[in-house]
A and B are shown apart, each in its own frame.
Chain A
Amino acid sequence: MSFLDYAPAPESRAILSLRPSYGLFVDGEFVDGNGPAFTTISPATEEGLAEIATADDADVDRAVAAARKAYDRVWSKLSGSDRGKYLFRIARLVQERARELAVAETLNNGKPIKESRDVDIPLVAAWFFYYAGWADKLDHAGLGADPRPLGVAGQIIPWNFPLLMLAWKIAPALASGNTVVLKPAETTPLTALLFAEILQQADLPPGVVNIVTGAGATGRAVVRHPDVDKIAFTGSTAVGREIARATAGTRKRLTLELGGKAANIVFDDAPIDQAIEGVVNGIFYNQGHVCCAGSRLLVQENVHDDVVERLKQRLTTLRLGDPLDKNTDIGAVNSAAQLERIRELTAAGEEEGATRWSPPCVLPEAGFWFAPTIFTGVQTSSRIAREEIFGPVLSILTFRTPQEAIAKANNTPYGLSAGIWSDKGSRVLAVADGLRAGVVWTNTFNRFDPASPFGGYKESGYGREGGKQGLAAYLAPSGGIR
């Protein structure tokens, strides 16, 4: 028996007890939705997990009304310190129920348990802790004295980090004094609904947070609702564009965190083993379902072959399979639709003449799976070098000089993130200066922290989440500046 055939080490599902069905969370209670209920599944097995309600326009209207009432009567009148205390409570409850939330996230999303357990859920708690402390210190947010909340925030989040994206949205909104109507992604509603239970445990006043489940139509109803003052969206650039059009001409404030096609730039003096780890983490973390994923590897031409060889060797140690297994590195693709998109784009990559490689890898029969894949010989004109694949697929390109690296890295309508690997401090900083990207990781990748602003340039969206800057998305200076 090979030692590397680690015996199964599944995380227990016993900690999680799901209800057979979940309603919408409106005005502090679970209520039925008017739309047709749907089954949310585990993408790793396609087994049904629970029935989920669909909110139609009238349901969204009720949720917005509840949020408005809570804003007018309760939340906007509450002191910052009391708002903060609610957020601290929520943070603690998330910590207490962390394992349960991690299991639910992994079941519903398909991501490896080690990621939901060690990254997603701890960051969720950290986000609430961070913004809890801001609630009574908003005078120091850089917007002048006594900034005012915007009112009702409509928030729409994606399926790649379901609960973490919820935290990114809700924590700063509540800290700033807004109330919320949040729509989780169609395929990953479970942790948001467990979070609603946490809000009940925290005794958060009814209506301060409302959660409406459903598909695109529900999201559109939130975006178009006239009594929503603010839209915060994380998701694809296409939908972000649609939202920007829909809110044009209104006084709705908008922040968008959209797609990316990040360059991960490896110079010939990089700390090579760490760079390989960073490249792997950059694109195979969360099956590559990461808007800031390092999907374009730009490697200095003189070390290209060495880097590719090391990368291939490293990829053979990645373990794909049951997301609940503690040793799984690559989990399931979140949905059949996403799998189809990955397949389409990788097929295009081959047609365009790039060389495809995957490590030997047995894919499970049921569920949605895609083997980690790298493409060499990719040209800047290739679709796989330009379009966001949102999957475990790396396109490898070369460069010769720092100037060329910067030019190639910036040669995209996106501008969310980038990585630089080099031992030379001055060059690292100069290259970071030249990159048109909102987050630049140097000698690291895919690090997140509530104190650190995150968000893009260009078509990767506008506004920042995290840090002091994240508050600006939910506050207006009392001077009335738009």
Chain B
Amino acid sequence: MTVDGSGTGVARPGASVVAGRALELLDAPVTDATLRRYLEGIPGVDAVGLEQRAAGLATRSIKTTSKRLALDRVIELIDLTTLEGADTPGKVRSLVAKAITPDPSDPTCPRVAAVCVYGDLAAVAIDALGPFHAPRARAAGATGIAVAAVATAFPSGRASLAVKLADVADAVAAGADEIDMVIDRGAFLSGRYEQVFEEIRAVKEACRRPDGEDAHLKVILEVGELVTYDNARRASWLAVLAGADFIKTSTGKVASNATLPMTLLMLEVVRDWHRLTGEKVGVKPAGGIRTSKDAIRNLVTVAETAGEEWLQPALFRIGASSLLNDVLLQRQKARTGHYSGADYVTID
């Protein structure tokens, strides 16, 4: 397993290989029944213990040099996101500018990992990034910023598979480097695991590009709608089995998003998957991470669960918008020694 130099993803097997591996693990054809047997055979989650472990990780005190390191790392892991019905090309260009130059007062400030937009605005984002767009930057030997597009009838996922695949194909054709798809929560909750599996697999197939630069697939579980940790764990395994490059907590569009226990749980899944197969799958908490403190708690959780090597854009992202400015304020404090203010960071 190799990590590509772009920082945009990990080489995972193609869709047909995935199906083969699932067959091997399930020791049977992929059906609702075999998936159910496999997923329900995975040990359960005790909510109290999980939340206590997350709370324990949250008490880590990250100070001085560690904090400076952590703040920069957080920025490098951000998928700077705008996902509003009111998004316009202007808004996306502004977001991209912020992604390229998070803090105009400090040239040492790192850039974010990606911008995340609706599929119809992916082309705008790519255009605005210009030479900073990941593939172009990579060709020039630099690290760029990827464009992630949400797809598959985001955020509800309530559309036919044909529509969802067309949604994905559009974004991929527009040059999106990463596709953030949503699973069909209705199908999952009604036990149609095979449908969820096949959708992910089909989307993964739709992420292929003739040039071989496949879009990486992040699978949004929308844990706020799956509600229980057991569901979230099963959905995580299902997504990984089906070929997800990343598993992502949330759309940011429902009441409960990326809680630390949920992120911890998903990190445990990718850690276990790595133990089982040697493959590394990424995790992306998204929605609700607004402060540096929250973000650093996520870093601690990553480092102490999956391991420090997961703290790279290929394996961990934070989907956020307002978080970036809070990190910048903290960074300025660390640099200057005094507290900064909202007027000293830019809005996008």
Contacts and interface: CB of A to CB of B under 8 A. Distances in A.
B59 A444 contact: no
Contact of B46 (A114, A271, A326, A327): A271
A6 B61 contact: yes
B44 interface: yes
A327 B58 CA distance: 11
Contacts of A444: 48-49
Contacts of B66: 3, 5-7
Contacts of A423: 43-44, 46
Interface stretch (B67-75, B132-140, B152-160): B67-75
A278 interface: yes
A272 B69 CA distance: 32
Contacts of B311: 3
Nearest to A268: B43
Given A9-B61, A118-B59, A269-B43, A3 B73 contact: yes
A359 to B, nearest CB: 13
Nearest to B73: A3
- Which range holds the interface residue count of chain B? 20 to 34
Contact of B43 (A3, A271, A277, A317): A271
B50 interface: yes
A271 B49 contact: yes
Nearest to B65: A7
B94 interface: no
B62 to A, nearest CB: 6
A274 interface: yes
A443 B49 CA distance: 8
A326 B61 contact: yes
A423 B44 CA distance: 7
Contacts of A269: 43-44
A132 B45 CA distance: 38
Interface in A82-107: none
B294 interface: no
A6 B59 CA distance: 13
B338 interface: no
Given A4-B303, A274-B53, A327 B61 contact: yes
Contacts of B50: 271, 273-274
A336 B18 CA distance: 57
| Interface residues of A, dominant DSSP | loop
Interface in B30-49: 43-46, 48-49
A4 B308 contact: yes
A6 B60 contact: yes
A331 to B, nearest CB: 15
Contacts of B308: 2-4
A8 B63 CA distance: 7
Interface in A420-451: 423, 443-444
A325 to B, nearest CB: 8
Nearest to B64: A7
B16 interface: no
B304 interface: yes
B228 interface: no
Contacts of A366: none
Contacts of B59: 114, 118, 326
Contact of B53 (A6, A277, A309, A326): A277
A481 interface: no
Contacts of A270: 43
Given A271-B43, A271-B44, A423-B44, A3 B303 contact: yes
Nearest to B67: A7
A1 interface: yes
Given A4-B303, A7-B67, A277-B52, A271 B45 contact: yes
B145 interface: no
B282 to A, nearest CB: 17
A439 B69 CA distance: 44
A275 B45 CA distance: 10
Interface residues of A, number: 27
Contacts of A1: 65, 69
Contacts of A5: 66
B64 A274 contact: no
Contacts of A309: 275
Contacts of B70: 3
Given A269-B43, A274-B50, A7 B63 contact: yes
A444 B46 CA distance: 9
Contacts of B67: 7
Contacts of A3: 66, 69-70, 73, 299, 303, 308, 311
Nearest to A309: B275
B156 to A, nearest CB: 31
Contacts of B225: none
Contacts of A114: 59
A444 B65 CA distance: 35
B326 interface: no
Contacts of A9: 61-63
B170 interface: no
A2 B62 CA distance: 13
A301 B81 CA distance: 48
Interface in A250-281: 269-275, 277-278
B65 A317 contact: no
Contacts of A271: 43-46, 49-50
Interface string A313-335: 00001000000001100000000
B268 interface: yes
A445 to B, nearest CB: 9
A431 to B, nearest CB: 16
Nearest to B296: A3
Contacts of B299: 3
Residue in B61, B304, B311 whose Cβ sees the most chain A Cβ within 10 Å = B61
Among B63, B275, B311, the one with the most A-chain Cβ atoms within 10 Å of its Cβ is: B63
A277 B57 CA distance: 12
A278 B63 contact: no
A272 B50 CA distance: 10
A371 to B, nearest CB: 18
B62 A274 contact: no
Contacts of B275: 309
A277 B49 contact: yes
Interface string A407-423: 00000000000000001
A309 B276 CA distance: 13
Given A3-B70, A4-B308, A274 B63 contact: no
Contacts of B52: 277
A275 B63 CA distance: 30
A455 B89 CA distance: 68
Contact of B268 (A6, A273, A278): A273
Given A6-B62, A273-B50, 6 more contacts: A3-B70, A7-B65, A272-B43, A273-B53, A326-B60, A444-B49
29 contacts: A3-B66, A3-B69, A3-B70, A3-B73, A3-B308, A4-B308, A5-B66, A6-B60, A6-B61, A7-B62, A8-B63, A118-B59, A270-B43, A271-B44, A272-B43, A273-B49, A273-B50, A274-B45, A274-B49, A274-B50, A275-B49, A277-B49, A309-B275, A326-B59, A326-B60, A327-B60, A423-B43, A443-B46, A443-B48
Interface of A: 1-9, 114, 118, 269-275, 277-278, 309, 317, 326-327, 423, 443-444
The 3 closest A-B pairs by CB, nearest first: A274-B49, A9-B61, A326-B61
